Amino acid sequence: MESSSELRILYEKNEKDVFRNLALEEAILLSLNEGNSSNTFRLWLNDSSAIAPFHESIFDLIDVEFCLDEGINIARRITGGGAIYNDCGNLNWSFFFNRKPFEKYSLKDLYSYFSSFIIKSLTQVGIDLNFHEPNWLGYEGKKVSGMAGYLKNNAILIHGTLLISADLTKLERVCKQHYKYPPVLNLSSIKPLDTEKVANIILGSIEETFQSSFKIHFDTSPNEREEQLLSGLKEKYSSIAWVFEK
């Protein structure tokens, strides 16, 4: 059994397969729910991908024809929210925590709480983001991060995007309903930043923030139980049934 007083920081910067990465999100959540993983903060990158939420039709949210023409992977996650576009100019972040200390929190409260650590990280480079209800971070009214979450009996997942140098033209082509949301902005248009620099800033800030409350350890790969779960989940996430039959 993993200790609830530990925080693992996981960053696999060379793993960019969207189907594998989304499967690992569920694997970590399931393993934590079983008591076989510690609280975890994860950073991850995907190659060019369109990702739909769990509950809606791909064809309503994503320009499938454009994705097929452009070689953009089409995937689905376990959380709600809207469709998103990922490429290596976007940094994904995830918090997996034991649920008990947060039992009285609403999902909106969890978005605000966990995204505050991303906000804090970026103040180090002079970028002051604001949390906007229900689930996004903005800079001067423009969206740089959106969030979604999943609650299990013993574990929670809050994850989000962070636009750094993403192809915003493709984002607007891929996401058919982008006009319903605030205009988007890359952090690199505010400060001279790239994905790796932002990742290092966030990793350092998370360690500094949590080291007084948790025993911190860094990892570059999943644990044994997560790998077991991942081996079965990868097939699910890359299947036509999972992606398209909703």
The reply to whether 1 falls in a domain is no
pLDDT tens for each residue of 171-225: 999 999 987 889 999 999 999 999 999 999 999 999 999 999 999 999 999 999 9
Residue 158, domain member (yes or no): yes
The domain of 22 spans 6-244
With respect to residue 57, please indicate whether it lies within any of the assigned structural domains. Answer: yes
The whole-model pTM stands at 0.96
d(C-alpha 123, C-alpha 69), whole Å:
39
Any domain includes 237: yes
**Has residue 217 been placed in a domain?**
yes
* Number of structural domains found in the chain: 1
For 12-33, write each residue's pLDDT tens digit. Answer: 999 999 999 999 999 999 999 9
- Show Cβ contacts of residue 197 under 8 Å, excluding neighbours closer than 6 positions: none
- Where residue 37 falls among pLDDT bands split at 50, 70, 90? very high
State residue 136 phi and psi, 5-degree precision: -145, 160
Residue range 93-151, pLDDT digits in tens: 999 999 999 999 999 999 999 999 999 999 999 999 999 999 999 999 999 999 999 99
Looking up residue 61, the CATH number of its domain turns out to be 3.30.930.10
Element at 10 (helix H, strand E): strand 6-11
DSSP state of 77: -
Could you say which DSSP state residue 190 is in? T
User: How many whole angstroms separate alpha carbon 146 and alpha carbon 36?
Assistant: 29
According to DSSP, the residues that pair with 55 across neighbouring strands are: none
